Amino acid sequence: MGEGDIVRKENHQDRQPEENFQQKKRSRFWTSFPVVFLMALICCILWGSAAPCIKIGYKVFAIPAGDTPARILFAGIRFTIAGAMVIAFESIKERRFVCPKRSELKYVAALAATQTVLQYVFFYMSLAYISGVEGSVLNASNTFFSIILAVFLFRFEKLTVRKVVGSVLGFAGVVLMVTGGSLEGVVSGFTLRGEGAMLLATFATALAGCLIKLFSKHADPVVLSGWQFFAGGIAMILIGVLTGGRLTVTTPLCIVLITYMGFISAGAYSLWGVLLKYNPVSTITILGFMNPVLSVLLSALLLGETKEAFNSATFGALALLAVGIIIVNLKGKKDPAAAAR
């Protein structure tokens, strides 16, 4: 070993404690409950405004309910903007152009397919046929899909009785919201293009969340979010244009609206990805309950859906969802032997 190799080895050893200290410091920050709660609240406020903003977007861009290509194009432009925002912000912060390594391209492709294309094709399709309030509450079922996938597919956590009971109560809330509490609603209220598409979108959301936690062990979740949004957005633009989708900008509100919608995804998913990196899936998903609550309130405020937002079925659904999520995340007594280990 030459003198230069010895010096490099010593320098590396000197840097190692500092790097470990910084990593522990970041971990303590992102697992602190006040920080986790505040960041999750910001995410849920942004996500809560998404459903009413999408429905407003359909109006200002004059997109009819049956024009699926235009809806896909609309979503594609939004996510391309979101990706560009994240990439630009990270590049400025790091003082270099950030891009995934060659070994990370498969992570970008998997997230673009699930979190952007698959999720939002169904999400945008659904909101053309259901109200913003109903879509918001149905979207909360991704909490339970997340737990199921984390337990059975990814093995992040173990299945417990409280998780089963909580999940059953949560889905009971979803059913109550869709059907209005009547058997007739079970038959006539549920449609594949409306409620069915929203449930498929929430499943894709849950799958993408678990993938982010898995991939963040090997790559920066913020960089992955930015590039998967950009790649997924471009793919959706191509799909929308090739299938005949067209958008007409009729007012400056169109530009303001779609830029804000890009910011929703850029900000919320980047923050959520970091939270998932440093915390268990079940710890973060309980805070996701704020999403449908805020979305219901924002839908009532922005869309005038006060009658649907404030009725017994909606309050019952929200109550069941709240109880279900609390039960899922109750902390049991620790085994002293396990704690010692």
Collect the ranges in the chain with pLDDT lower than 50: 7, 183, 185-188, 333-341
| pLDDT the model gives residue 178 | 57
Q: Three-state SS for 157? A: coil
pLDDT of residue 308: 62
Identify the pLDDT of residue 181. Answer: 60
Tokens 């990814």 — which residue?
Answer: 154
> Rounded to whole angstroms, how far apart are CA atoms 211 and 38?
23
How confident is the model over 50-89, as pLDDT tens digits?
878 888 898 899 888 778 889 899 999 999 999 999 999 9
Residue ranges per structural domain of the chain: 31-328
pLDDT of the residue at 307: 67
pLDDT on residue 309: 63
**244: its two tokens:** 């005949």
- pTM reported for the whole predicted model: 0.74
Give the whole-angstrom CA distance, residue 185 versus residue 254. 36
Tally of CB atoms within 10 A around 202: 25
pLDDT at 317: 74
Determine which helix (DSSP H) or strand (DSSP E) holds 268, and give its type and residue range.
Answer: helix 252-278
**pLDDT for res 183:** 46
Looking at residue 335, the DSSP 8-state letter turns out to be: P
CA distance 6 to 96: 30
- Report residue 79 as tokens: 């996510």
